[in-house]
Amino acid sequence: MNSTKKLKILNFYSDWCPPCHTFMPNFLAAEQTYWEYFDFIVVNVVKNMQLAWVFWVRSTPTIIILDGDLVVYNQSWVPNWADLKKVMLTLTS
């Protein structure tokens, strides 16, 4: 996860997870809008179990926002898009 951008949004998902597929279009739309401020990282929990364990991901989807190494947002299950957008706007202002 090396990057020159300070903030990272990690989307932990699994291929078999219907809510993950439901949320993915919102995540991709957010990337098109906020790409200057965030690195958008999609993490398949089956292929990246160690990273999922590092962040204590217990269900999918889980969205985690990092400011450096600090977790500033952590939402499991289907993230509320409006709430996530508010958090993103707050972090970029």
Domain containing residue 23: CATH number: 3.40.30.10
Residue 2 located in a structural domain: no
As for how many domains the chain has, the answer is 1
Residue 78 located in a structural domain: yes
Residue 84 located in a structural domain: yes
Three-state SS string over the chain comes to CCCCCCEEEEEEECCCCHHHHHHHHHHHHHHHHHCCCEEEEEEECCCCHHHHHHCCCCCCCEEEEEECCEEEEEEECCCCHHHHHHHHHHHHC
Print pLDDT tens along the chain (93 aa): 445 567 999 999 999 999 999 889 989 988 998 888 899 999 999 999 999 999 999 999 999 999 988 999 888 877 677 888 888 888 887
Residue 27 located in a structural domain: yes
Residue 1 located in a structural domain: no
Query: Domain span at residue 83?
Result: 7-92
Residue 14 located in a structural domain: yes
pTM score of the predicted model: 0.85
